[in-house]
Structure 1
Amino acid sequence: MEKLSYASESSTSPWVTYLRQIDRVAPHLGDLAHWIETLRHPKRALIVDIPLQMDDGTIRHFEGYRVQHNLSRGPGKGGVRYHPDVDLNEVMALSAWMTIKCAALNLPYGGAKGGIRVDPFSLSEGELERLTRRYTSEIGLIIGPQKDIPAPDVGTNGKVMAWMMDTYSMNHGTTITGVVTGKPIHLGGSLGREKATGRGVFITGCEVAKRSGIEIEGAKIALQGFGNVGSEAARLFEKAGARIVAVQDHSATLYNEAGIDLTELTVWQAESKQIAGFPGAQEIAKEEFWTLQMDILIPAALEGQITRERAENLSCKLVLEGANGPTYPEADDVLAERGILVVPDVICNAGGVTVSYFEWVQDMASFFWSEEEINQRMDKIITDAIAHVCDKAEEKNCSLRTSAYIVACERILLARKDRGIYPG
């Protein structure tokens, strides 16, 4: 199979960003580099047409995707995204980052991702349910608790996962809770799942800050994205004594040097469905966000946010990637040259997939743990993983991102090597 080139693709393409990250880690893999081509090719990509009868009786068609990037270490794992900008290139990249993330955490999964190109907020609840059920049926031939386990992502939630689980179960004639994670608690979901990703950002941030001599108490934090991930991470940092001086989402950029009251902002967002207009902060221009005085930046929105130009203007000491793929490779270089540490997405935001793993295990055993047990188990896995990545970075004299990729790729490619190729 011909190598997937990025010479003719946009340098801002998520898949190109991933391929460049793989290129950077290749020289560190020794004999295992012989198998690296397997990481440059998704194992399986499914594109589906989803006809939907709208509430007014008209028929619309939506395009959906499910990509399984690599299954060498176990079944695929990855979210389902509902967003107007979803396309195959993005889903391929997100599935590949899930492969790296699961291996970096040493979870027994491969990487997968799915999505539908749709604005979920433009649909009624009935339309959203019908869309989800048809999509689930279309991808049903490649998902399953031992094949590929979807989860929530941008634009989806526990209710969507309940519809997916029910649809898959109805098509198989028995209740199969382990086909998805991120479900409501009463349908086999796990305690602690909703806050897990933000908690992971906080844990990894504190660990790297401690190793680097960065004080959390009194630190000024700028946050991009105020969904489940960003809001929970910010809340934990605020509790630890940090000040959230800026929050940006699609509707506005808020700034308050004295610190934004997150409790008040959460109430405002719940009522207004956006942060714009919040009276407890000043609204500033969108691009000004990247030039503010800050100690820690948490990009927790979509991919492709930190460009070379923005990286040159950042004043922070630490970047915690709550989102997937928020930093372009050339921006990574700028940040490294300027001595700004980046905790990469594949470790930083891995709390969600870690508790998803716990949910899957609990569903398979029909035995459920307390939230305290879950948090303790998650904290240990995340802390051990970031410590291993930091130690490897010191050993190899490389960035934390390259280190995380070394750790992950060694595990993936060793599995590929020892499994061999069938047929031989």
Structure 2
Amino acid sequence: MTRVVSKYFNRAADILNLDPNYRLILGLPSRELAVNLPVQLDSGEIHIFPGYRVQHHVAMGPMQGGLRYRPDLTLDDLRALALWATLTAAVADVPFGGSMGGIVCDPSTMSSQELERLTRRYVVEILDIIGTERDILSPDFSTDQQVMAWIMDTYSMHARQTVTAIVTGKPLELGGSHGSHESIGYGVWCLLDAALKHLGRQPTQTSVAIQGAGRRGGSAAVLLHEAGYNVIAITDSGGGVYRPDGLNIPDVLDYFTRTGSLAGYKEADALTDAELLSLDCDVLVPAYLQNQITADNVKNLRCRILCEAAYGASTSEASEVLDNSDIYVIPAIMGESGGIIVRYFEWVQNRIGFRWRRHIVLERLRDRVVAMYRNVVKVGEEHSVSLREASYILGVQHMGRDLSLRGIYA
């Protein structure tokens, strides 16, 4: 992932003729913390879990970023994700810097009690570098509202007061925001509506294939289905389903919720990830993990629009091929924007002690996503580059501007 973000970051810096000193500062994290987390398992055994927090850039405001639990997590991945988070905030005009954290573990093999002990120990170990004006945590892969609640409670116990703004994506009952769960999916819907309008296409004549049935892909599928898009395929880690005349998305996702998998769904044909990526469709939405579109399969894509809803969905080699193809690519910096916008809204609501109604959150989200799309398109036309390159140019320009205005403390 680092290769992808570094390549396009440096390409944008070249186009902008960015000051070499600023390029050096903005291209590296401002802080990295590695911790070892001793946790007592239910068996009584003590296990040491490696944990990390990478904080990229602070000039635009407090840092904000996800927390993921994965057995294959690397510090290099977190560096890339923190930079992407900063770029997304910059492109979406959100006053946050980017950060990212994670713990090397396999949550599927751990009990809820073990995960709670692990989460609380992680918070204690990073306590000195997080805060409502420093670094705010949010859910990512294998973390959810419950994990955010544990983090908020642990931080609050040490602060001796309830501090809701230390996390976003938490339960509504504990200060969460309406629209948080579907924020990335809603952002994808807004982007596709804006793109179709720009390209002169109609939603009701648009077929969609989605990789991922969770918070990102599942919420996008529901919203697109309700808006009249023809969602013909969706996959998860255990398989997928396909129906050329359109899936009954509420029924599909109800089955997924009940069984934990799409495998065995009887009302559509079975489908693998590889088959989904090569489907003939108008829109393909990879909304799962990184490195899904590679040098090996990129030439098999038969979509007209690719809307990335996961950072690093396309590898460096695949991105290069896509840049020179006829596929209209909406990059992850834009596709992930709905999440960071609503996280900002939640943080603001926590700080003022007032909750906005759901329609207000979603209306403000749509306004920002549409404005972002128009800004990126304008930059792309000015520099005669793709949306991917334009989004990096806009993000690096914003980051460089803020750093220039603040100056370098020495």
Moved more, 273-282 or 89-98: 273-282
Query: How far is the alpha carbon of 1:378 from its aligned partner?
Result: 1.0
1:385 and 2:366 are equivalent in the alignment: no
Look up the match of 1:335: 322
Query: How far is the alpha carbon of 1:30 from its aligned partner?
Result: 2.7
Secondary structure of the equivalent of 2:234? Answer: strand
Secondary structure of the equivalent of 1:248? Answer: strand
Match of 1:355 among 342, 363, 368: 342
| Deviation string, structure 1 residues 257-311 (Cα, Å, up to 9, x no partner) | 1222211111111111111111122123442222211110000000111112322
CA distance in 2, matches of 1:359, 1:123: 30
Query: How far is the alpha carbon of 1:356 from its aligned partner?
Result: 0.8
Secondary structure of the equivalent of 1:302? Answer: coil
Match of 1:189 among 176, 182, 198: 176
Look up the match of 2:361: 374
TM-score w.r.t. length of structure 1: 0.94
- Maintained 8 Å contact 1:247/1:255: yes
Query: How far is the alpha carbon of 1:222 from its aligned partner?
Result: 1.0
Look up the match of 1:292: 279
Secondary structure of the equivalent of 2:55? Answer: strand
CA distance in 2, matches of 1:37, 1:15: 15
1:209 and 2:207 are equivalent in the alignment: no
1:100 and 2:87 are equivalent in the alignment: yes
CA distance in 1, matches of 2:92, 2:274: 34
CA distance in 2, matches of 1:31, 1:229: 34
Look up the match of 2:12: 25
1:76 and 2:66 are equivalent in the alignment: no
CA distance in 2, matches of 1:201, 1:193: 14
Query: How far is the alpha carbon of 1:338 from its aligned partner?
Result: 2.2
Q: Percent identity?
A: 37
- Maintained 8 Å contact 1:301/1:322: yes
Query: How far is the alpha carbon of 1:392 from its aligned partner?
Result: 1.0
Please show how residues 272-287 of structure 1 align to structure 2 within 5 Å. 272-287=259-274
TM-score w.r.t. length of structure 2: 0.97
Query: How far is the alpha carbon of 1:389 from its aligned partner?
Result: 0.5
- Maintained 8 Å contact 1:27/1:33: no
Look up the match of 1:160: 147
Please show how residues 404-423 of structure 1 align to structure 2 within 5 Å. 404-423=391-410
Please show how residues 34-73 of structure 1 align to structure 2 within 5 Å. 34-73=21-60
Moved more, 102-111 or 332-341: 332-341
CA distance in 2, matches of 1:369, 1:267: 28
- Maintained 8 Å contact 2:18/2:400: no
- Maintained 8 Å contact 1:200/1:350: yes
| Deviation string, structure 1 residues 198-229 (Cα, Å, up to 9, x no partner) | 00011011101211123321322111010011
One-letter amino acid of the structure 2 residue matched with residue 110 of structure 1: G
- Tell me how large the CA RMSD over aligned residues is: 1.3
One-letter amino acid of the structure 2 residue matched with residue 157 of structure 1: D
Query: How far is the alpha carbon of 1:31 from its aligned partner?
Result: 4.5
Query: How far is the alpha carbon of 1:32 from its aligned partner?
Result: 4.2
Q: Which runs of 5+ in 2 are unaligned?
A: none
1:316 and 2:303 are equivalent in the alignment: yes
Please show how residues 231-246 of structure 1 align to structure 2 within 5 Å. 231-246=218-233
One-letter amino acid of the structure 1 residue matched with residue 243 of structure 2: N
